Amino acid sequence: MLVHGACTGGWIWEKVVPLLQAKGHRTCAPDLPGLGNDRTPPAMVTLADNVEKLSRLLDKMEEPVVLVGHSLGGITISALAEARRRKIKALVYLCALLPTSGKTGKDMSSLEPDTMFRLSREVSPDGLTYTFSRDKLPVLFYADVSPEDRYRAMQRLRPQPISISTTPVTLTEERFGSVSRWYIECTLDKAVRLKLQRLMVKMTPCKVITMECGHSPFFSNPEELVEHLETIAGA
């Protein structure tokens, strides 16, 4: 199960899904509430809504899944592991926010306060959603992505429900802590920079895989990413 990050949708995995399926894996890349093609008003969405939607999908699956979260998706997969640990074979954080118990996504990104990721956010007047400054997007998310993929991605971005970043996540050792954890660090990431990735892994230890790429390896290095996911699935 592939979980997208802020402002995006299940479409970010469009190059990864066919590669995984060609190797015999069943895959699921849902849109989180309010994003992608999900028509829930983003201002209404809570972290609990994300967990509920994905829990319903997990409950239909016969075998435990490898659960991958990109970027802000790390918050949702952490909360989901606490709720449905028996349905998850491994957690994979792909240059993702990796929270400690009681902290929010905003708390984790605040560990490196001057990041372009934080400085580029534009919050809506009602304070319930945010987007990213369009002129910063190419460098922030798509620096090593082809112009065609970058253009198509930027056309599909939607406002992000802010509550996903501002809701504390409660994680216990017996539930979340019992699931195998992997972190795929992306060394050239300008959004969740390598220093922050490594700081979070120090706080919540994971097995680490390194990719020499920016924030969107599903576009820039899909074949390599799939190889790493295969390694994790077989571990």
Residue 80: which CATH number? 3.40.50.1820
Report the distance separating Cα 183 and Cα 205, nearest Å.
9
Taking the CB of residue 224, how many other CB atoms lie within 10 A of it?
15
At residue 113 the predicted structure's pLDDT band, cuts being 50, 70 and 90, is confident
- 119 — pLDDT class (breaks 50, 70, 90): confident
Average pLDDT over residues 144-170: 97
Range of the domain at 193: 2-234
Rounded mean pLDDT, 57-81: 97
Q: How many structural domains compose the chain?
A: 1
Per-residue confidence at 99, pLDDT binned at 50, 70, 90?
very high
Strand-pair category, 207-211 with 180-186: parallel
In sequence order, the β-bridge partners of residue 181 are: 91
Q: What is the mean pLDDT of the chain?
A: 96
Q: Among all residues, which ones are annotated catalytic?
A: 71, 189, 215
Statement: residue 66 has pLDDT above 90: yes
Asked which of 59-68, 77-86, 112-121 is least confident by mean pLDDT, the reply is 112-121
pLDDT at 117: 72
The per-residue pLDDT for 227 is: 98
pLDDT over threshold 90, residue 1:
yes
Residue 221: is it exposed, middle or buried by C-beta count within 10 angstroms (0-12/13-18/19+)?
buried
CA distances from 145 to 71, 139, 215, 229 (A): 16, 10, 9, 20
- pLDDT tens track for 190-229: 999 999 999 999 999 999 999 999 999 999 999 999 999 9
pLDDT of residue 35: 98
Instruction: Output the pLDDT for position 114.
Output: 77
Q: Length of the chain in residues, anyone?
A: 235
Crossing angle of the two packed helices 47-59 and 73-83, in degrees rounded to 10: 60
Copy the structure tokens of residue 204. 């919540």
Q: Calculate the alpha carbon distances from 97 to 40, 150, 235 in Å.
A: 24, 22, 23
Please spell the DSSP secondary structure of 53-104, one letter per residue: HHHHHHHT-SS-EEEEEETTHHHHHHHHHHH-GGGEEEEEEES---PPTTB-
Please tell me the predicted confidence (pLDDT) of residue 118: 75
Sort 146 into a burial class: Cβ within 10 Å, 0-12 / 13-18 / 19+: exposed
